[in-house]
Amino acid sequence: MKIRYLLIIALMVNISLSHASIQSEGIIIPAEFADLYQGHEELFTFEMASATDLLTVKVTSTPTSATLSASSINKIENYLLQNNIKKQAITNIINKMTSNIINASACHGKVAECTMIPDEFAFSYDYEQKHITFFANNKLLDKSKTSKIFHDSNNDLYGFINSMDFNYHYFNNSGSSLILRDKSLLGLKYGNVRSSLYLDSSSSDLDVEQLSYDYEFKKRRFQLGHFKYGYEQNSTAFLDLTGSYSQDVVNYSSSNNLISGGKQNNRSLYYLLPNQGRIEVYREGNLIYSKNVDAGQQNLSFRELPYGSYMATIVVISGGRELLTEKQQIFNNSSFSLNQGEYDFSFSAGLLNDRYDEKNDRENSLTEPENKQQYDLWLQENSFVEAKATYQLLDSTLVGTRLLTNVDNTMVEIGAKKSFAEYANADVKYARFDNGSQFLSADTNIYNVGFGYERYHSADGEYSLDNYMLSNIGYQRLTLNVSATVYAGQGYLLFVNNKVDEANNGQEYVDQSDYWSVSAGYSHAFIANSTLNFSATYQSEDYRWNNDGWYAGILWSVPLSMDWSANSSMNLGHQGVEEFRNSISNNQQLSDNLSVNTEVGVTYMGSDYERSVDSDISSSANYHNSVLNSDVYAYVSSDGTKSLNANLSTTQVISNSGKLYFTAEKSDAYIIVDAQSQQDADQHRGLLSVYHEQELGYNDNIDQQDTVIAIDKYKDFNVRLDTESSNYISDDEHQANGYALPGTVISLDMDLVKIKTFITSFDDLNDNAVSEVQCAGEGCVDVEKIEPGVFKVSVIAGADYELFSHNQTCVTPSLDRNSSTISNVGNNYCLPGLYQEGAWSLANNNNQAIELDGKQYYFLGVFDSEVDYPQTAQKLKDAGIETISREVGKRQYLYARTTEMLTAMQQTLLNELNLYALNNFDSNNFTLNWD
């Protein structure tokens, strides 16, 4: 009895100890398995997911968990460092591994096949294979140490790209002008050459805006040339004060372009037009952007404008006049392209080009009060050197500094740029000049609210570097813009306040003015799918009004049908109702390429001095195709006002092989597919696909010889033309690869060969289905057996080919080489002896008998089914010669069945028949089977 109690007690103690050893794992294990969960030190392999190497470490393991032995801690630390894990993260990982390594809950099924992206880090634990896999989130990687692969900057796919823009302007009270802007890009094996020319017929002066050489290699960039509006820069571009300036410069800088492209911000300007019109953007008097717009609230995105930071003049044309002219600061450059801890730099040296002509033609450019003394408006020393640097302090914080000197003057600048998640960003810059002048700017955007502030304090003295870079007079500018959805409508608010420094106003030529403006607008849906637009502006501007002025407007747009709409608008000013207008418009999409919008209206104009009622008509048209874009806007009013604006743009691309192509799309790099089809009437060439890093970016069936595709620069591309869906094949490469540098033209040149496909069934001379058909000759492409006796045959159109089966020639009707469809040519025959000399050889005992299914045949020839065959068959029958024939198309293939000696009469008949047989043998007509 005592022994029984002792055994029970011992068993209970054992179970208790086993339970205690695995209690922390939350698993209750039977006593007989308890030893497995006591933990044993053994060797495991350890690897980081996606790493190329693994490690052997010591752990204390159980079937469900393990702890890292102290002797292997250093090995894990070094391994993780080699794989670019942050040091601070390694401490947390080691702490976790020395306490408890368990299989992550995300691992389901076979542990060895587990894969995941954890929020921070996790493990897969394979006890059977003695293996531990470590998974890390990307945020644990030390990005400053990760290796970067730079694309080769040598360009073997270089070409020439030239874009031309023609703009025509006519106003009845100011005459007409034709503007041409020509931009060219010449790709070279090492770098590229750019030019930009501007020609205005009203001045007949050719303005060279840019002529430069640019070369990038790994993380460096070298630029040399003349830049009227500045040049592309790295993240140091945010240090530009209010804009760029004309310079002849040599620049050496860092660049991330060969790793990835830059970014552009997405700010917009908003405008309300009472009727259809046009928006034009000018930079220092030169037109840089234009487009037709409809009536109502319109926006102009910064990303549609040229790269850089600059002051732009926006002109809104509507109703045959300039409805609005305003200046806006444009910021359109790279930012936050660096990883945390990285930096950009830029070193420049060159000449600053004078802003004003040395003839001092101030009447055209500046306002000069009579009591102000004249003095020079150009620098005494134009040569300069400049150094800029930025550092990515945090993922969302960029700081920078700048030093610029032209010997006579020196400027020092500091700046910072900050992004707050996706809803806000801000940048601030401060510059000080050695003559005491100072500049401060701050720009902030929070959700849909933008705030800007600039303060320029100009020290008294001669025209110097600060005046050249900023203004001839000190000023202070405050801007505020808000856009929001309010009660299911879209509204905006804009405020601008610009003040000049009166302290030094008397000593400077004024290129700034005191003015302020506040404007607001609101757009909301109304009855019958109509839209109501409200706008109001209160504005003071010395050079336009003697007194403060305000005006407000309301526009009601009503759709009448798919093509027709009506507009009613009213403008109010300090004199009351100044304009009331009713109009009706028609919009027609005349084709895929052409659309026309015509508007007819009646306008009442009222003021204290004059009242009138005028009618007008305006029309805008947009036309585009694969080689050009064009638009035109015309306006005629009963008051005598006439205007015409037109634009046409096209781009020419010359590939490395010297071929010229045209396209409507503008870009710095192109893919060209030249699919020659020997002027065949069949248009469909195949399915064209363009991939960027295995991601499909373009996929379309092409039906023309030349296809020009604009692509983004600094990206890898693969272009493929799949001709399986077409009636063509080619021995040339069906794909081309390349990295798009500026000036790159990736060409895929293919000579396409037309394929004719037909379906037919074949029998032999005894009407038995043929089991196998083969093809011989340069025209052969494919023979596919569909079912016994039925075949799908593909051959090259117009090329020689021969179908045969077991020494028998297979014949079909003549094929139409121009047909693009798969033809069904019906039942045809594979016939023996077609290479024999027919009736003549039989008459002269030279024709060997053809053995087929135990029967003997003699081939007599091929005869026209409608002309010669009926008479021939009757003559042979009358002469006692038994025949058999097989009809294919319009031909009869004739055979004789006889074993007897021919009589003299029969021999004579056969010799005569040979004269009527078609001359198939010399030309092998069954291998030239084309109409």
Given a contact cutoff of 8 angstroms between Cβ atoms, the answer to whether 574 and 606 are in contact is: no
Is 170 a member of any domain? no
Contacting residues for 231 by C-beta, under 8 A, at least 6 apart: 210, 212, 223, 225, 244, 249, 251
Looking at residue 111, its amino acid is V
Is 304 a member of any domain? no
The pLDDT confidence band at residue 7, using thresholds 50, 70 and 90, is very low
The residue written with tokens 């897969």 in the block is 124
Predicted pLDDT at 355: 77
For every residue of 416-485, DSSP letters joined together read EEEEETTTEEEEEEEEEETTS-EEEEEEEEETTEEEEEEEEEPPSSSS-HHHHHT-SS-EEEEEEEEEEE
**What is the C-alpha to C-alpha distance for residues 167 and 186, in angstroms, rounded to an integer?**
24
Predicted pLDDT at 11: 35
Question: By residue range, what is the domain housing residue 826?
Answer: 755-927
Tell me: pLDDT of 921 over 50: no
**What is the C-alpha to C-alpha distance for residues 858 and 48, in angstroms, rounded to an integer?**
81
The pLDDT confidence band at residue 723, using thresholds 50, 70 and 90, is confident
Q: What is the mean pLDDT of residues 361-378?
A: 49
Given a contact cutoff of 8 angstroms between Cβ atoms, the answer to whether 333 and 238 are in contact is: yes
**What is the C-alpha to C-alpha distance for residues 300 and 690, in angstroms, rounded to an integer?**
30
Q: Are residues 694 and 795 in the same domain?
A: no
Given a contact cutoff of 8 angstroms between Cβ atoms, the answer to whether 571 and 582 are in contact is: no
Predicted pLDDT at 34: 57
239-to-253, 400, 452, 505 alpha-carbon distances in Å: 14, 7, 15, 28
Give the chain's radius of gyration (CA, Å).
Answer: 42
The residue written with tokens 């500045």 in the block is 230
Closest by alpha carbon to 78, among 60, 53, 99? 53
Q: Are residues 844 and 907 in the same domain?
A: yes
Torsion of CA 466, 470, 476, 479, to 10 degrees: -150
Q: Which of 140, 159, 184 finishes a domain? A: 140
The pLDDT confidence band at residue 753, using thresholds 50, 70 and 90, is confident
**What is the C-alpha to C-alpha distance for residues 595 and 619, in angstroms, rounded to an integer?**
11
Q: What is the mean pLDDT of residues 544-550?
A: 58
Q: Are residues 887 and 796 in the same domain?
A: yes
Q: What is the mean pLDDT of residues 215-222?
A: 92
Out of 424-438, 728-742, 777-791, 847-861, least confident range: 847-861
DSSP state of 815: B
Q: Are residues 836 and 907 in the same domain?
A: yes
Q: How many Cβ atoms from other residues are within 10 Å of residue 88's Cβ?
A: 9
Q: What is the mean pLDDT of residues 500-505?
A: 71
Contacting residues for 95 by C-beta, under 8 A, at least 6 apart: none
Tokens of residue 760, six digits: 């037919």
Closest by alpha carbon to 566, among 583, 579, 553? 583
Q: Are residues 767 and 913 in the same domain?
A: yes
The pLDDT confidence band at residue 284, using thresholds 50, 70 and 90, is confident
The pLDDT confidence band at residue 395, using thresholds 50, 70 and 90, is confident
Given a contact cutoff of 8 angstroms between Cβ atoms, the answer to whether 576 and 595 are in contact is: no
Q: What is the mean pLDDT of residues 386-411?
A: 91
Higher-pLDDT residue of 111 and 47 is 47
Predicted pLDDT at 258: 86
Closest by alpha carbon to 649, among 160, 181, 305, 170? 181
Q: Are residues 787 and 914 in the same domain?
A: yes
Q: Are residues 868 and 897 in the same domain?
A: yes
User: What string of H, E and C letters represents the secondary structure of 66-133?
Assistant: EEECHHHHHHHHHHHHHCCECHHHHHHHHHHHHHCEECCCCCCCCHHHCCCCCCCEEEEEECCCCEEE
Looking at residue 378, its amino acid is W
Q: Which of 117, 140, 163 finishes a domain? A: 140
Report the number of distinct structural domains present in the chain. 3
Given a contact cutoff of 8 angstroms between Cβ atoms, the answer to whether 789 and 762 are in contact is: yes
The pLDDT confidence band at residue 296, using thresholds 50, 70 and 90, is low
The pLDDT confidence band at residue 15, using thresholds 50, 70 and 90, is very low
Tokens of residue 672, six digits: 């060209």
Q: Are residues 764 and 883 in the same domain?
A: yes
Q: How many residues does the chain have?
A: 931
Tell me: pLDDT of 544 over 60: no
Is 522 a member of any domain? no
Higher-pLDDT residue of 463 and 456 is 456
Looking at residue 41, its amino acid is E
The residue written with tokens 């198309």 in the block is 889
Phi-psi label, residue 487: left if phi above 0, alpha if psi -120 to 50, beta otherwise: left
Most confident of 132-146, 217-231, 270-284, 835-849: 217-231
Using one digit for the tens of pLDDT, what is the confidence trace for 679-719?
566 677 788 888 876 678 788 888 778 889 898 888 888 88
Tell me: pLDDT of 898 over 70: no
SS3 state of residue 869: helix
Is 566 a member of any domain? no
Higher-pLDDT residue of 855 and 240 is 240
Out of 22-26, 540-544, 633-637, least confident range: 22-26
**What is the C-alpha to C-alpha distance for residues 389 and 399, in angstroms, rounded to an integer?**
8
Task: Please state, for a pLDDT cut of 90, what percent of the chain lies above it.
Answer: 36
- Find the helix or strand (DSSP H, E) in which 586 lies: strand 576-589
Looking at residue 196, its amino acid is S
Tokens of residue 115, six digits: 């894969």
Predicted pLDDT at 261: 40
For every residue of 259-292, DSSP letters joined together read T--------EEEEEESS-EEEEEEETTEEEEEEE
Q: Are residues 780 and 920 in the same domain?
A: yes
**What is the C-alpha to C-alpha distance for residues 508 and 135, in angstroms, rounded to an integer?**
67
Q: Are residues 782 and 890 in the same domain?
A: yes
Is 603 a member of any domain? no
Looking at residue 682, its amino acid is D
77-to-24, 65, 121, 847 alpha-carbon distances in Å: 27, 20, 15, 93
Predicted pLDDT at 922: 42
838-to-96, 854, 860 alpha-carbon distances in Å: 95, 21, 4
Q: Are residues 783 and 900 in the same domain?
A: yes
Predicted pLDDT at 373: 45
Tell me: pLDDT of 413 over 80: yes
Closest by alpha carbon to 713, among 48, 305, 314, 257? 257
Predicted pLDDT at 2: 44
Predicted pLDDT at 421: 60
Predicted pLDDT at 650: 96
Is 709 a member of any domain? yes
The pLDDT confidence band at residue 1, using thresholds 50, 70 and 90, is very low
Given a contact cutoff of 8 angstroms between Cβ atoms, the answer to whether 558 and 584 are in contact is: no
Q: Which of 140, 158, 184 finishes a domain? A: 140
Name the burial class of residue 821, with classes exposed (0-12), middle (13-18) and buried (19+) by CB atoms within 10 angstroms of its CB: exposed
The pLDDT confidence band at residue 147, using thresholds 50, 70 and 90, is low
**What is the C-alpha to C-alpha distance for residues 671 and 41, in angstroms, rounded to an integer?**
61
Is 297 a member of any domain? no
**What is the C-alpha to C-alpha distance for residues 891 and 790, in angstroms, rounded to an integer?**
21
Question: What mean pLDDT, rounded, does the chain reach?
Answer: 81
The residue written with tokens 């008998």 in the block is 849
Q: What is the mean pLDDT of residues 18-31?
A: 48
Predicted pLDDT at 12: 40
SS3 state of residue 322: strand
Predicted pLDDT at 19: 41
Tell me: pLDDT of 76 over 60: yes
Higher-pLDDT residue of 439 and 144 is 439
User: What string of H, E and C letters represents the secondary structure of 189-230?
Assistant: CECEEEEEEEEECCCCEEEEEEEEEEEEECCEEEEEEEECCC
Predicted pLDDT at 92: 92
Is 600 a member of any domain? no
Contacting residues for 768 by C-beta, under 8 A, at least 6 apart: 853
Tell me: pLDDT of 335 over 70: no
Tell me: pLDDT of 877 over 60: yes
Tell me: pLDDT of 362 over 50: no
Higher-pLDDT residue of 652 and 466 is 652
Q: What is the mean pLDDT of residues 276-303?
A: 79
Q: Are residues 701 and 812 in the same domain?
A: no
Q: What is the mean pLDDT of residues 886-900?
A: 81
Predicted pLDDT at 371: 45
pTM surpassing 0.75?
Answer: no
